[in-house]
Amino acid sequence: MALFDAVGGLELDVESVSTQRRETPVSTDFVRVTTTVVLTGGGETGSGEDVTYDAKAHDDFPELEERGRTTLEEYSARLERYGFDDYRRWAFESAGLDLALRLTGRSLGDVVGRGYRPVRFVVSTRHDIRPWLDVDPQLEFKVDPVSDWTGDYMGEIAAAGRVRVLDMKGQYHGTPVDQPPDARLYRAAVELFPEAIIEDPALTDETREPLSGAASRLSWDAPIHSIADIEARDPRYVNIKPSRFGTVRRLFDAIDHCEATGITMYGGGQFELGVGRSQIQVLASLFYADSPNDVAPGAYNEGEPRPGLPKSPLGAPNRVGF
C-alpha cells in the first residue's frame, strides 16, 4: 500500500487555528523567524512549522478558514485554494497530519506500519569542524565548501575522516549561501573526500570535468519538490526536506518512489525553531535512519562547540502524533 493511502483517510476535526511566532538571532544581520501553525479540535492539538526564510513573510500571517470534520486528504485538497508556497503549505499539512494522528491516539509509525529506529545525524556547518571534534571525536559532518577554502585546509579536515556530505550550494541563486561554480573547489572536493556525498553541485562546462569521476556520489536537495524532480536527475542519493514538498502526499509519494527505485534518502533540516525539527527526526527514524541525516538537535545551531549535547544516534522517537 502506498504511504499516503495509510494516512489520507484519517479524520480530523478543526475547531480553531492559531499561530505562534518564534525567532532567534543568528548573526548581526540575520534573525531566524519561523511560525508554528496550531490546529485544535476534538480535545487535541496538531502543530506544523512554516520555515520560510524571509522574516517579513511571517508578518500578518494569513487566516485559515477551514473548520469542521474532514479527512486529511480532503483537508489537503481544500488548502489548494489558498495558493500557499511549499514552506507555508507544509506547515498546515503537517499540522493536519499531527492532529489527525492525535485524534486516533496513534503514532505515524503505527499507521504506516513502520518501526521507529535510532537516528544517525550529522552536524551541518560552514565553519571549521575541528573544534567540534575536540569536544566529540565521533561526530559526523555535512560541510559547505566555499571558494576561499585552500587545498591545505580541505586536506586537513578531510584527514579527520568525519565528513559525510559536501554541500556545494550550486543550486542556490540569489541567497546569502550561494556558491558560484568553481572548478578548483570541485576538484578538491572530489579528490580529497573520495567517499563523501556531493550535494547540489552546479553542472556547468567548468565543473563537469572535475565531477566526472563522482557521478555515483551526486545528490540533490534544493531542486527536489516532487517525484518528477527526482526522475529528471536519476540520482543515487536525495536529500529529503519535507517542507520543500509542500504536501504530505507529494512527500510520501517521493519516499515510495525512492524506496522502489533504490535511491538512498537522507533527511535535511531548514533551521527549524519548533516542532518542525522533531518531525523531520520522526521521518528519518521511520524511513532513512541509518543515513547521514542533517537533522541534528537544534542545540547544535545554538552557540559554540561544547560538551553535553545529544549524541548520534538519537533515540527512536516513538510517540502519539507526528
Residues 103 and 127 grouped into a single domain = no
What's the predicted TM-score (pTM) here?
Answer: 0.95
Q: How far apart are CA 84 and CA 242, in angstroms?
A: 15
Residues 43 and 141 grouped into a single domain = no
Average of per-residue pLDDT values in the chain: 95
pLDDT tens per residue across span 221-280: 999 999 999 999 999 999 999 999 999 999 999 999 999 999 999 999 999 999 999 999
Residues 231 and 266 grouped into a single domain = yes
Residues 100 and 161 grouped into a single domain = no
Overall domain count for the chain: 2
Residues 91 and 156 grouped into a single domain = no
Q: How far is CA 146 from CA 31, 79, 82, 124, in A?
A: 23, 39, 39, 14
Q: How far apart are CA 18 and CA 5, in angstroms?
A: 28
Residues 144 and 94 grouped into a single domain = no
| Amino acid 63: pLDDT | 85
Residues 98 and 169 grouped into a single domain = no
State yes or no: pLDDT of 283 exceeds 90.
yes
| Amino acid 6: pLDDT | 98
Of the three residues 78, 112, 146, the one that is the final residue of a domain is 112
For the chain, what percent of residues have pLDDT higher than 90? 89
Residues 157 and 249 grouped into a single domain = yes
Please give the single-letter amino acid code of residue 291.
S
Q: Flag whether 317 is in a domain.
A: no
Residues 33 and 148 grouped into a single domain = no
What is the domain range of residue 47?
A: 3-112
Residues 85 and 158 grouped into a single domain = no
Once rounded to an integer, what is the mean pLDDT over residues 23-31?
A: 83
| Amino acid 138: pLDDT | 97
Once rounded to an integer, what is the mean pLDDT over residues 89-94?
A: 98
Residues 236 and 169 grouped into a single domain = yes
Residues 130 and 277 grouped into a single domain = yes
Q: How far apart are CA 265 and CA 287, in angstroms?
A: 8
Q: Flag whether 314 is in a domain.
A: no
pLDDT tens per residue across span 98-153: 999 999 999 999 999 999 999 999 999 989 999 999 999 999 999 999 999 999 99
| Amino acid 82: pLDDT | 94
CATH of the domain at 237: 3.20.20.120
pLDDT tens per residue across span 32-76: 999 999 999 999 999 999 999 999 999 988 888 889 999 999 999
Cβ neighbours of residue 215 closer than 8 Å, sequence gap 6 or more: none
